[in-house]
Structure 1
Amino acid sequence: MSTSPSAAVRVLIVDDQSLIRLGFRMVLEAADGIEVVGEAGDGAEAIEATARLRPDVVLMDVRMPGVDGIEATATIARDHPGVRVLVLTTFDLDEYAFGALRAGAGGFLLKDAGRDELVAAVRAVAAGEATLAPRIVRRMIELVTAGQGADAAPPAATGSAGLDLLTSREQDVLQAMARGLTNTEIAEELFLGESTVKTHVGRILAKLPARDRVHAVLIAHGLASPWEHAAEGVQVDGGTRR
C-alpha cells in the first residue's frame, strides 16, 4: 500500500504480550508521521485485522500461540501485497530471520532495537526500503560465501533464475543491496544519482521478479524463489516496493 509524503504511516502492532504492544504503541505514537491503527494478539487476529484495517506496516512478533508470525506474514504477503511486514523477535536465530523473510517480510529487527532504530525501521519498510538487523545481514553474507574460494563469482553473476538478465551495473546495485545499503548509500558508493539507483532497483525487482529489495537479495543468494505474484499484475517498477 503506497503512502503519500504527507500521509501518516499506518501501523498494526502484533504481539501476544499486551505490555510489549503497549510499549511499541507508546514509542510509535510519540513519533511524527506514524499512526497506530490497531493491535492483535496472535497471527490469526493479525490476518483479520490486516484485511479490515489495511495498515501500511504490520509490526509482527514471531512466536505466538496458534497461527505464528511466520505463517501470518506469508498469508498477509500473499493476500495483501501492498502491506509491508516488519518482524521483531527476541530470538537472534537464522531460522526465524530467514523464515520471516522467505514468508514475505520486508524487514527484520530484534526486540532490543532502540527507540530511534524502531521508528526508522517502520518508516523505511513503509517506503519500500530493506530493513535488516546488522547481525542478520552479516549472517546472510556468511551463509552465502561459506565454502566459496577467493575467485568464486559473486551471487549476482552466477546466472541463476533471472540474474543473467541483469546488466553489469544492475548486478553492482544488487550486490550493494545485499549488504543492506540504502539508495542514498548505493548512489554514493557507485557514484550515481539517487534517482538512477532507484531506477536500477525497480528494474532488478521486475527482472528477477522480486517482491521487494529483501526478496531480491534472497533470490540472488539462492535462498528464495522468484515472486509468483509478479505475473498477476502487481506493480513492482514504480510502486513502493523498492
Structure 2
Amino acid sequence: MIRLMLVDDHAVLRDGLRNILGMEDDIEVVGEAISGDDALQKIGIIKPDIIVMDINMPNKNGVEVTGIIKKQYPNIKVLVLTMHSHDEFFMSAIREGADGYLLKDAPSDQVVAAIRTVAKGESVIHPSMTKKLLSFHQQKQTETENSSLTEREKEVLLCLVEGLSNKEIAQRLFISDKTVKIHVSKIFKKLNVKSRSQVVIYAVQNQLVPMPPGS
C-alpha cells in the first residue's frame, strides 16, 4: 500500500484528489496539509511514502518544503503537482530533489500513474517541461567533473533531454537505431539511472544542461 500525503492550500483540489485516489486499491491518503509549515509539522508523525506537493502555498512554498523534506526525510518521495509551467519553478524543484513534476492540467489517470511510478523509485516529468530544457542548451555544453560521458554520449543525452525517441535521435545524429540504443544503455549505466525521466533530472541537478539566470 502506498501511503500518500496531500499538501495543497486549495480544499477543492485536495478533496478531488482524495476522491480519485480513494478508488485505487493500492493508494491510501493518510494525511493532508494546507501550507508548507503545516506539512513540515505533520510529516514526522504521518510518515508518508509519497507527498503530492503544490508550489504556491502560505508560509514556505512547495520548492522550499521539498528541499527541507529531502534533507530530513530522504526516503520520502515528492511529486510536485502545480499549475506553474515556468522554467524557474521546474528547475528549482528538480534541483531541490523533487522526484517528479506534473502540471495540474494532467488527466487524473496520469496523476495516479505518476504516483505509482514515483513509488517504485522512478521519476516523472510532464512532457512540456522536458521540452523546455532544450531552450537552455547553448553551443558549448556545460561540463561536470564527475561526468565520464563521451562527446557522442553527451550529444545523445541532450537529445534525451529534448524528449526525442531513439529513431529521432538516430536521424538527427546520422547513426543507426541500434547504435542509439547502445549509447542510451551506456548513459543509463554511467549516470546510474533507470529511465529517461531520471536522465533529465540528473542532467538538471548536475548542470549538464545550462541553468536559466537566477534559478
Q: Under TM normalisation by the shorter chain, which class is it?
A: 0.7 to 0.9
> Deviation of residue 57 (structure 1)?
1.3
| Alignment partner of 1:92 out of 85, 92, 101 | 85
Where do residues 11-90 of structure 1 align in structure 2 (5 Å cutoff)? 11-90=4-83
Q: How far is 1:175 from its partner?
A: 4.5
Alpha-carbon contact 1:101-1:214 (below 8 Å) kept: no
Q: Are 2:150 and 1:162 aligned? A: no
Q: 2:209 is matched by which residue type in structure 1? A: H
CA RMSD of aligned residues (A): 3.0
1:153-232 to structure 2, matched below 5 A, reads 155=141, 159-163=143-147, 165-166=148-149, 171=154, 174-175=157-158, 178-179=161-162, 190-191=180-181, 197=185, 201=188, 203-205=190-192, 213-218=199-204, 219=206, 220-223=208-211
Distance in 2 separating the partners of 1:135 and 1:191: 24
The sequence identity of aligned pairs, in percent, is 35
What is the one-letter code of the residue matched to 1:105?
Answer: A
TM-score (norm 1): 0.68
Contact 1:174 1:204 in 2 (8 A): no
Per-residue CA deviations over 1:56-108 (Å, capped at 9, x if unaligned) read: 21100101011111110010011111111111111221122112112211111
The alignment partner of 1:35 has SS state of strand
Count, aligned residues = 194
Post-superposition Cα deviations, 1:88-146, rounded to whole Å, max 9, x if no partner, equal: 1112211221121122111111111101111111112222222111111111111224x
2:171 is aligned to none
Structure 1: runs of 5 or more not aligned: 1-7, 183-187, 207-211, 225-242
Partner Cα separation in structure 1 for residue 131 and residue 7 of structure 2: 27
Instruction: Name the residue aligned to 1:3.
Output: none
Structure 2, unmatched stretches of 5+, are 166-176
Partner letter of residue 145 of structure 2? A
Match of 2:137 among 137, 144, 151: 144
Q: TM-score, normalised by structure 2?
A: 0.76
